[in-house]
Amino acid sequence: EAYLSAIDTANEKLNAYVAVTHEKARAMAKASDAKIAKGEAGALEGIPLGIKDLFATQDVHTQAASHILDGFKPKYESTVTANLWSDGAVMLGKLNMDEFAMGSSNETSYYGPVINPWRAEGSSADLVPGGSSGGSAAAVAAFLCAGATATDTGGSIRQPAAFTGTVGIKPTYGRCSRWGTVAFASSLDQAGPIARDVRDAAILLKSMASVDDKDTTSVDLPVPDYEAAIGQSVKGLKIGIPREYRMDGMPNEIEALWKKGIDWMRDAGAEIVDISLPHTKYALPAYYIVAPAEASSNLARYDGVRYGLRVPGKDIADMYEQTRAAGFGREVKRRIMIGTYVLSAGYYDAYYLKAQKVRTLIKRDFEQVFEDGVDAILTPATPSVAFGIADQEMASDPVKMYLNDIFTVTVNMAGLPGIAVPAGLDEKGLPLGLQLIGKPFDEETLFRTAHVIE
């Protein structure tokens, strides 16, 4: 009830929730009470969570923050949310996001932007919460849920976590099932939690992760007790500092933050080593070929026949056109056009195939570093603090917006786990985040090292 009334008070301003499931929340909480009374509480019994609108929730609003899915209520539950409910968690509602998870500011949502609960000292200007999981991050930061599900294709868990002073982990590709999560770029998409601290993130990920017959890319590995990793010493761990992440024109506060992070790790007994990831500079351009290519294919299914919106036309082709023209927003259309172009017969080799080759090189860079004994890699999570709503520069040039992903996309391209952890405030009092990148399926080392920083 406390969370529901907090949502009722704050959501009008923040726009973090696109649907609040009051009755369902109360019914689930009641069932949890009964379980607790019987001594049968699950690991998350009665814990109220917000769910990103990308996750299919049975008979509950699921629109990926898009007009084209108007009124869609799936007949099935995503595996990740089903795992959470079976551990006793309670659903508060569905969280706002960039349309189809395409964006870095939560401004592409059909429901309008999410407002970051943080403000710069002495300023009343509204800031973005980051994206695409902006609703998840804002809701957690503003105490509108105890934790939230999110997804990360190129940074969408880690960047909003960094912009809101919360913890977000993108696990290794294959750790969580993608079944029932609306697909953006299938070879990059991964679910993960956004939480108030590292321990909460560890507990939530443990529950979300599982192998799943319905997603052949999910991996059949035991899910460790992540919470047990927290508090373990980092003495003797080798932390790599990649020189390619030291960008020209990096703001001073980001440079200073990184230095502080290095000092904290060293003070805690870790060994700091300089490393090189030579193909880093190709990651962003390659990502913006691979991700739109897969998106253009995945989004072909929204044709006005099977789901949501249908705009009548004079024949079926016209109906497709009218529906897609009205149903998709500008950024989604841009991605579909780029994706269709790079996959077209004459350009496939030059763009898509080339980008896939670059992706292999990026992956090999990381493999080499880990073979050389590095346990985790420390970088800034984002190139700046949260920026203003309707930032003119970003709005007029999509590439400026894409640059937000510069430190996060490599992790998705290589399929690795990455965590964003709050690491203090800038001089205007806005949250700053650091990122730790780990070996495949070694999320434990990320929780362990991130806990030193938080």
In angstroms, give the least distance from the CB of 209 to ligand GLN. 18
> What gap in Å lies between CA 28 and CA 22, rounded to an integer?
10
Which one from 32, 104, 132, 133 is the annotated catalytic residue? 132
Question: In the complex with ligand GLN, which residue's Cβ is closer, 135 or 304?
Answer: 135
Residue 132: asked if its preceding bond is cis (omega within 30°), the reply is yes
Encoded one letter per residue, x for contact with ligand GLN by CB under 6 A and - for no contact, window 153-192 reads xxxx---------------------------x--------
Distance CA 376, CA 437 (A): 6
Q: Which residue is nearest to ligand GLN (CB)?
A: 156
Q: At its nearest, how many Å lie between ligand GLN and the CB of residue 120?
A: 23
Active site residue 52: yes
Rounded CA gap, 85 and 107, in Å? 30
**Tokens for 3?**
């969370």
Q: What is the dihedral of CA 437, 443, 448, 453, to 10 degrees?
A: 40
CB of 153 to ligand GLN, least distance (A): 4
- If the CB atoms of residues 152 and 365 are measured against ligand GLN, the closer one turns out to be 152
Active site residue 156: yes
Subset of 262-291 contacting ligand GLN (CB under 6 A)? 291
User: In whole angstroms, what is the distance from residue 3 CA to residue 161 CA?
Assistant: 20
How many CB atoms lie under 10 A from the CB of residue 365? Answer: 21
* Nearer CB in complex with ligand GLN: 88/154: 154
> What is the distance between the alpha carbons of residues 108 and 53, in angstroms, rounded to a whole number?
14
Active-site annotation holder among 105, 136, 156, 207? 156
String of contacts with ligand GLN for each residue 291-320, x by CB under 6 A: x-----------------------------
Rounded-to-integer distance, Cα 69 and Cα 53, Å? 11
Cis peptide before 32 (omega within 30 of 0): no
In 58-133, which residue ranges form alpha helices assigned H by DSSP?
A: 79-86
Active site residue 132: yes
Which two structure tokens, joined as six digits, stand for 400? 């400026």
Whole-angstrom distance, CA of residue 48 vs CA of residue 26: 10
Which stretches within 372-442 are classed as H helix? Answer: 392-396, 398-402, 409-414
Smallest distance, Å, CB 342 to ligand GLN?
14
Site track 383-422 with ligand GLN (rule: CB under 6 A), x = hit: ----------------------x-----------------
Q: Cα–chain-centroid distance for residue 252?
A: 26
CA distance 247 to 281: 10
Site map (CB under 6 A) of ligand GLN, residues 47-86, x = contact: ----------------------------------------
Least distance between ligand GLN and beta carbon 104 (Å): 4
Name the residue nearer to ligand GLN (CB basis): 237 or 420.
420
Beta carbon nearer to ligand GLN, 117 or 154: 154
Q: Which of residues 94-153 bind ligand GLN (CB under 6 A)?
A: 101-104, 132, 152-153
Strand order in the sheet with 418-425: 17-20, 90-95, 48-52, 147-152, 190-195, 167-170, 418-425, 431-438, 376-380, 238-242, 271-275
Shortest separation between residue 281's beta carbon and ligand GLN, angstroms: 18
Beta carbon of residue 331, minimum distance to ligand GLN (angstroms, whole number): 8
Compute how many other C-beta atoms are within 10 angstroms of the C-beta atom of residue 354.
Answer: 17
User: How many chain residues touch ligand GLN (CB under 6 A)?
Assistant: 13
Q: Which is nearer to ligand GLN, 7 or 128 (CB)?
A: 128
**Distance, CA of 71 to CA of 48 (rounded, Å):** 24
Which residue out of 32, 52, 170, 206 is catalytically annotated?
A: 52
Nearer to ligand GLN, 48 or 339 (CB): 339
Catalytic machinery residues? 52, 132, 156
Residues that bind ligand GLN (CB under 6 A): 101-104, 132, 152-156, 184, 291, 405
